[in-house]
Amino acid sequence: MKSFFNIFFNKKEYSSYISGIKIQRSSRRNSTVSLKIKDGKLIILCPNFLDDKYLTEIIKKKKSWIEKKLKNRKKIIEFSEKKNFPILGKNHKVRFVKSDKNEVKVIDDLIKISCTKKNTMKSIFTNWLKNESTKYLKVRVSVLSKRIKINAQSVFVKTYQARWGSCSHKSEIFLNWKLFLLPKRIIDYVIIHELAHILVPNHSNKFWSTVEQIDSNYREKKDWLKVHGYAYIQFN
């Protein structure tokens, strides 16, 4: 099996990519070269003036780091009776119960899904997850808003494949229902992150300083999302 780098280096290079790796350039003078894994893919951030040859050497030197980061990325969460499924960060076994009534019950570490046919289990369960997530997230926003004294104008829970949340210029908070699968401390971090955007609508030093004042351990949670988040957010 070809390695990550063998596959990439065999691809044709073009303007915004080097060997299949996305290059995101910036015109800012103080820009430095940085590598990050986003949605399971490598992205290099760098100044406009750096040439492709120089960046290719960086990629080669960072080969071990990149492969390690990609290897640590977990597989996408799947729904199956043969696999555990996470709710609020806790793994649960899934069991089908044949019934004329569609119903989902969570008892300890067991998810019991009642329906007429197995092939309808996932859709019934997903609808239940969305409803439960909406209730849980709105309560947490209310609790955290009162605690940190930052109020959102309104809260919406939606489906996203590439973001956990956002904040509008109207102080509206939008959250991904898949947050309901994550550990509670991670959910709270995402909510705090979006509430902080009401005060600072960007990712400047002032913003991160605001987040740190609210949650001194935010970096651990931010890093957790970078490593594990992709596996959860791609569930559908």
Predicted confidence band of residue 18 (pLDDT cuts 50, 70, 90): confident
Predicted confidence band of residue 39 (pLDDT cuts 50, 70, 90): low
Q: Is 89 left (phi over 0), alpha (psi -120 to 50) or beta?
A: left
> What average pLDDT does range 151-174 have in this prediction?
95
Q: Which residues, listed in sequence order, are joined to residue 96 by a DSSP beta bridge?
A: 113
pTM of the model: 0.73
For 202, what's the count of Cα atoms within 13 Å in the CB-facing half-sphere? 3
Residues 62 and 99 in one domain: no
CB 180 within 8 A of CB 88: yes
Is 188 domain-assigned? yes
Is 77 domain-assigned? no
Residues 114 and 219 in one domain: yes
Residues 40 and 94 in one domain: no
Is 209 domain-assigned? yes
Is 123 domain-assigned? yes
Q: Structural domain tally of the chain? A: 2
pLDDT (0 to 100) of residue 62 = 82
pLDDT (0 to 100) of residue 117 = 93
Where is the domain boundary, 72, 94, 114? 72
Residue 209, domain CATH: 3.30.2010.10
pLDDT (0 to 100) of residue 29 = 60
Would the pLDDT of 191 be above 90? yes
Where is the domain boundary, 20, 47, 72? 72
Residues 138 and 206 in one domain: yes
22 phi and psi angles, rounded to 5 deg: -70, 130
pLDDT (0 to 100) of residue 57 = 87
The range of the structural domain enclosing residue 186 comes to 85-233
Residues 122 and 172 in one domain: yes
Residues 211 and 115 in one domain: yes
Residues 60 and 125 in one domain: no
Is 96 domain-assigned? yes
Residues 42 and 108 in one domain: no
Residues 25 and 96 in one domain: no
Is 34 domain-assigned? yes
Q: Kindly report, residue by residue over 74-126, the tens digit of the pLDDT.
A: 578 999 998 899 999 999 999 999 999 999 999 999 999 999 999 999 999 99
Residues 55 and 102 in one domain: no
Angle at 224 between CA 40 and CA 66, to 5 degrees: 40
Would the pLDDT of 1 be above 50? no
Task: Find the DSSP H helices in 44-109.
Answer: 52-61, 63-72
Which of 211, 216, 205, 173 minimizes the C-alpha distance to 192? 211
Is 217 domain-assigned? yes
